[in-house]
Amino acid sequence: MRRILSVIAPVLALAIAVPALAAEHEAKLYTPKGGWSFQGPLGSFDQGSLQRGYKVYREVCSSCHAMNLLSFRNLGEKYGPFYDEKFPNPADNPFVKTLAHDQEAPAIKGINEETGDVEDRPGLPSDRFPDPFPNEYAAKASTGGYVPPDLSLIVKAREGGANYIYSILTGFVEAPSDVTVPDKLYYNQSFPSHFLGMKPPLADNKVSFDDGTPSTIRQQAKDVTTFLAWASEPKQTERKRLGLWVMAYLIGMALLAYGSYRRVWKNVH
Ligand code: HEC
C-alpha cells in the first residue's frame, strides 16, 4: 500500500500543479453584476440598457468599428432599442429619423427626383450605419496596423459570446511584471493572446447616460454588449416568446389527449 501511494502521490501532485501553472496567465471570462437580461428561456433585452448601449457604440466604438448589417430603421423595430408602439413602422419613428439625420458620415449621395441630378442628401432611416473608414488600408493606417472587426455579429462570432465581449472591454489591466507588451499592443487579461491592437476604448463618465445611470466602465461595457447581443440576434425575444406559446400549447394538447383517453376507456375493465 505504502509503495503504491509513493508512486501515485507525485503523479497526482503533478496532475494538479500543471493546470494550475498554465492557469496563471489564462484568459478568464466574466459576467457583469446582475447577469444578462436576455439570458434564459424567459430573458428579453432590457430596453434602457439597449438605448445606453447604442449611445456607447455611436459615441465611442463607431469611430473605428463598422456594423454593416444594421440600418437605422432596425433601431426602431419591435424589441429594439427605440421601439415605440405608436410607430409600428420604424421609418416613421421621429427619434429614429433624428438619429439617421444626424449621423456623422461623409456626405450621402442621392438622386434629386425633380432634376435627376446626383446630390448630397440628409441621412434616412433606411441608411445603413456609416462605415468609419473608406477601406481596410485607411483603417490599418489609423489604428496602428490592426483592422477593427465589424461588430454586427461579433457576439455570435466569438466563443464566450456576451461574456467574452464584456470581459475584453473591462479586461485592460496592468501587465504582470514578467510580461513585456510589444509596441502598439495593449495588455488585456481576457484576450486569448493577451496582446490586443485596440486601445482601452472606455473610461468612467466617457458617455453621459440620459437616464441618470452612473456611467462607469463596467456599466458602459455591460450596456454596449447588450446592444451588440441584440444586433447579433434582433429576433431573439420574439423567438423565445413564440417558444413559450408553443410549449403552453403542447402541454394543453397533452392534457386534453389524456383526459379524453380516460373518458373513452372509462367503462372498460
Ligand atoms: C480607436 C479605434 C477603436 C475604438 C474606438 C474601439 N475599437 Fe475595438 N478594436 C479596434 C482594433 C484596431 C481592433 C483589432 C485588434 C486586434 O486585432 O488586435 C479591435 C478589436 C475589438 C474586438 C475584437 C476582439 C477579438 O476577439 O477579435 C472587440 C469585441 C471590440 N474591438 C469591441 C469594441 C467596442 C465594443 C468598442 C466601443 C466601446 C470598441 N471596440 C472601440 C479599434 C477600436
Q: What is the pLDDT of residues 230-250, one digit of tens each?
A: 999 999 888 998 999 999 999
| Residue nearest (by alpha carbon) to ligand 1 atom 28 | 165
Which of 65, 104, 188, 224 has the most ligand 1 atoms within 8 A of CB, as the residue to mutate?
65
Indicate the burial class of 91 (C-beta count within 10 angstroms; 0-12, 13-18, 19 or more). Answer: middle
14 confidence band (pLDDT: 50, 70, 90) = low
What is the torsional sign of CA 231, 233, 238, 241?
Answer: negative
Task: Quote the cell numbers at residue 125.
Answer: 432611416
Q: What residue ranges line ligand 1, CB within 6 angstroms?
A: 56, 60-61, 63-65, 143, 146, 148-149, 154, 158, 165, 168-169, 196-199, 201-202, 224
How far does the centroid of ligand 1 lie from the alpha carbon of residue 18, in Å? 33
The rounded Cα 13 to chain-centroid distance in angstroms is 41
3 has a pLDDT exceeding 90: no
How far does the centroid of ligand 1 lie from the alpha carbon of residue 149, in Å? 7
Average pLDDT score over residue span 158-163: 96
21 has a pLDDT exceeding 50: no
267 confidence band (pLDDT: 50, 70, 90) = confident
Average pLDDT score over residue span 212-226: 97
Measured from the Cα of 158, ligand 1's closest atom is 26
| Residue nearest (by alpha carbon) to ligand 1 atom 16 | 197
